[in-house]
Structure 1
Amino acid sequence: MHDQELIRILADDPFRLQALSIVRALDLADGWIGAGFVRDAIWDRLHGRPVQPPIGDIDVLWFNAARATPEVDKGLEASLLPHSPDSIWSVKNQARMHDRNGDTLYTDVADAMRHWPETATAVAGWLSRSGQIEINAPYGLDDLFALRLQPTPDFVTSKRAIFDARVRSKRWQERYPLLRS
């Protein structure tokens, strides 16, 4: 139910549809755009605001263990810039992010998102070769659409301080006053 609504929101947003198309052209293995790119589109809509380009960067996620270096990601960011020069692209091969996060090796992008702090942020979209938008949401979309700001299992207890710090620093509850914990 929420999948189709999310797909419709992304498809109806020229900026997001163009970004998905630009990333599709890179032909990245397990390549998605996630986090605020998706989350903020839904929260804006649920707050009765027009959907606007994401605040901050556009998180491009992909998974390829054979190309898991920061230099490859920086090269991909540079190749995206001419297509959308006003955007800040952040490309991260999730095959290397487990080290930074102190986790065990991730198996794919969905597995990496399971280790993100918030359920509503652990959502991504991609444009298939046939032009269809697909959604990757390892925790589902209920929290996102219910405006529920919830930690993922990793951040309920031992990493709770990280979750709480992110909520404060991102100021989501000021930007989106209907959010609830």
Structure 2
Amino acid sequence: MLKSKFDIILLIQKDEWMMELLNAVKSLDLPDWWICAGFVRSKVWDTLHGFEERTNLPDIDVIYYDDINICEEEEKKMEGRLEALIPNIPWSVKNQARMHIRNSVEAYTSSVDAIAKFPETATALGIKMDSHYNLILSAPHGIQDVINLEVKPTPFFAANEKRIEVYEDRVTKKNWELIWSQLKVQHIKS
């Protein structure tokens, strides 16, 4: 069913709601922007589980990279603009040029660099539209884990004991197996 990046792109293209959100974010003209994480991952997992209704998302993660204006107020302004375009969506906008400070890591070099350093490989996904409205899927660790329903840490998280603890806490709290019963979650014992 889902075997390639192209299959995931087609899946998203056929989803009017997802396309509406992508168009809204594109209209902001943010530098190096993506809608990422659960927005893509949950669509894939819902499809692979045969769900007819979309799983509720706690937020819609919009990221961008602007190292000129790293003011958090700018992110809130962008959330407000998105709320005005499409209300009642839990928009979360974050400039990845400042998130390294919050995450206590080396500065990210781009939004894709930040995506590569998300906790799980299956969540390290982003989707955006190019200038011609074609969808582009970023999957720095590939799509195998998300389409094989496997949850494991990214190399960035696996390489550090404190980040492994964050990963373990996160997968425990998220408890995704309650929603998607076919998931295989990898636990790393430190």
Query: Which bin holds the TM-score, normalised by the shorter protein?
Result: over 0.9
Shift of 1:113: 1.3
The aligned residue for residue 177 of structure 2 is: 173
The aligned residue for residue 105 of structure 2 is: 103
What SS is found at the alignment partner of 1:61?
strand
State the TM-score, normalizing by the size of structure 2. 0.92
The aligned residue for residue 151 of structure 1 is: 153
The aligned residue for residue 52 of structure 1 is: 54
Give identity over the alignment, percent.
Answer: 36
What SS is found at the alignment partner of 1:122?
coil
Say what the alpha-carbon RMSD is for the aligned residues: 1.2
Shift of 1:153: 1.4
Shift of 1:2: 1.5
Alignment coverage as a number of residue pairs: 181
User: Per-residue displacement from partner, 1:27-71 (whole Å, max 9, x unpaired)?
Assistant: 110011001000000000000112526411100010010011110
CA distance in 2, matches of 1:103, 1:160: 14
Alignment match of 1:161 (pick from 159, 165, 177)? 165
Alignment match of 2:119 (pick from 117, 120, 123)? 117
Q: Which runs of 5+ in 1 are unaligned?
A: none
C-alpha contact (below 8 Å) 2:46/2:55 kept by paired residues: no
C-alpha contact (below 8 Å) 1:43/1:176 kept by paired residues: yes
The aligned residue for residue 22 of structure 1 is: 24
Q: Which runs of 5+ in 2 are unaligned?
A: 186-190
Query: Within the alignment, does 1:141 sit opposite 2:121 as a pair?
Result: no
C-alpha contact (below 8 Å) 2:112/2:140 kept by paired residues: yes
